[in-house]
Amino acid sequence: MFERVLGGPGGLIPNAVQKRVWNVALYVIALLVVIFVLTPLYLMIVVAVQSPETLFSGGQLTLIPPKLSLDNFRTLIEQTPTVSYFVNSVIITGSSVFLSTALAVISGYSLTRFDLTGKSIIARIVLFSYMISPIVLAIPLYVIFFRLGLLNQYISAILAVTAISAPFSIWLMWQYFQNIPIAYEESAWTRGASRWRAARDIVLPLARPGYISVAIFAFAVAWNDYTMVRIVLNDQALYPLTVGSELIFQEVFVGWGEQMSMMLIMSFPPFLVAAFLQNYLLQGFNLGHG
């Protein structure tokens, strides 16, 4: 009935008009989404690059800065442990990304290439473990690290964060390796190549979008994590940016400019990762189906 009224043969609204209205609606929705996403980012940048004198000139927030200033960043670097926190974030995140990606590649390859009993069940159990809230794992991990004497060390933060990202990473690589035909490796084996060489020279290059996607996911989890590192680390000298920024914001002299500058520093690495590796991310989550 509605098709007869609105469109189709004999309809009141021509198909060309419907298509045009649909395209306009999509553009309007996309524009609203862009505005919704970019407005907070713009405000963060505007506040971060203004000096305190010009930020609230006239009693109102200045949305178009008369001049750019790096005073807020200079204050953070010179008067707070921001650099130390940033280095800690790089160490914890980089190590967690490497460990999570290595576990995902090894486990995913093993689950698809070796004849393991109940491997499909194992893979699904691994994915199910990812559904568990990190806070549920926090206390058991704290007890384990306490018994092993690993609290207040980089290794405890690295392992705790990896425990969050590894399950989904393993499941993703398990899915991705299933889309790489084993015939490629069998062809190399018949020519005298070992399993290791076939995996290194054939499978890993083909799986590059998959493990780069895993690395991006692990990076996002580790860089933005607060709960796990806050529980296993009590030494302020080891805090990453997510935890250290909380202490900086409690300082009396830290104002809106310094806070937005810290947020910009924390957002910059994820922005670079997303900007330069987004194609790999899309290919990886496509699981090999072109």
Is the CB of residue 85 less than 8 Å from the CB of residue 241?
yes
Termini Cα distance of the chain: 38
Contact 167, 181 (CB under 8 A): no
- What is the C-alpha separation between 282 and 290, in angstroms, rounded? 11
**Domain co-membership, 87 together with 39:** no
Question: Is residue 69 in a domain?
Answer: no
CA distance 39 to 211: 33
233 near 156, Cβ under 8 Å? Answer: yes
With a CB cutoff of 8 Å and minimum separation 6, the contacts of 82 are 76, 241, 244, 248, 262, 265
Which of 273, 184, 175 is closest to 224 using CA atoms? 273
Structural domain of 35: 2-48
One digit per residue, the tens of pLDDT, for the chain of length 290 reads 444 555 555 556 777 887 888 889 999 999 999 899 888 888 888 888 888 777 777 666 777 878 888 888 999 999 999 999 999 999 999 999 999 999 999 999 988 888 877 777 887 788 788 788 888 888 889 999 999 999 999 999 999 999 999 998 998 898 889 888 889 898 888 888 888 899 889 999 999 888 998 999 999 999 999 999 999 999 999 999 999 998 888 876 778 888 999 999 999 998 888 888 777 666 656 654 44
Q: What is the pLDDT of residue 2?
A: 45
The model's pLDDT over 52-98, given as tens digits with 9 standing for 90+, comes to 777 777 666 777 878 888 888 999 999 999 999 999 999 999 999 99
Q: What is the pLDDT of residue 250?
A: 84
182 lies in the same domain as 254: yes
Task: For CA atoms 242, 248, 250, 255, give the dihedral sign.
Answer: negative
Q: Is residue 73 part of a domain?
A: no
- Residues 131 and 41 placed together within one structural domain of the fold: no
In this structure, the answer to whether residues 24 and 118 fall within a common structural domain is no
Distance, CA of 122 to CA of 270 (rounded, Å): 32
270 shares its domain with 128:
yes
CB 88, CB 238: distance < 8 Å: yes
Query: How far is residue 138's CA from residue 133's CA, in Å, rounded to a whole number?
Result: 9
Answer yes or no: do 104 and 161 share one domain.
Answer: yes
Using alpha carbons only, give the angle 41, 45, 49 rounded to the nearest 5 degrees.
175
* The predicted structure's pLDDT at residue 252: 63
The angle formed by the CA atoms of residues 149, 221 and 208, to the nearest 5 degrees, is 110
Check whether residue 152 and residue 44 sit in a common domain.
Answer: no
